Structure 1
């Protein structure tokens, strides 16, 4: 039986707007890609996952590419600091869902930032983050407030 990744029921509209809005740089992206972006931003910038208030099925595990699935697993291992987490598929999915939940507001804010070149903006943010992280001064508030 396929495993399901869920989102907050109230967040479905945000994902739809990111995919369908004419001015969205993420227009026509698929749900697994949006979920992965949200999850990654949650990991990098929010630092902690955020528990879901309600569960609404969003994607199935078979919708993820092998590379995307590897990223989900790697994030779970990073969070738990142990490979043993991979034994518990439900826990891996819960970690991914919580990071995606934490990252969605960041993704939404970045997607509608004044810079029309979203990908360049995101690339700059990630480079800045890693440079500051090496210096130990990156905070999620700084990243969110700049977006």
Structure 2
């Protein structure tokens, strides 16, 4: 078995993080040895991580994991090479959830739900990622 040089560059990397940001524990990753017939999705499922995480933690896999067969008998990271993260506790106050819907604007398309927490007018040139980022929500929330 051999360790890919691109993974070696990830070990021991430290990075300054702003106060209040998640803080990593000891930098290292859990390793997985690629076997005949493995795919990035199969590796991700076996290790209870996402496909996107496997690809991002192993930059040498290139886009879409198209050359995974060339990594047979090699080690890949199946956990964050920078360590586990713990989120800081809330010191700013309550964590209540809003239970009332936002007022419905006058111009909403037919069949739009009336139980939204917030409405947004899409502007020319915006795509889903702009809307999600601006509202601080996930695609599932949308």
Shorter-chain TM-score bucket reads under 0.3
**Larger RCO: Structure 1 or Structure 2 (Cα < 8 Å, ≥ 6 residues apart)?**
1
**TM-score relative to the length of structure 2:** 0.25
Question: By percentage of residues, which structure has more helix?
Answer: 1
TM-score, scaled to structure 1: 0.25
**Who wins on radius of gyration, i.e. which is larger?**
2
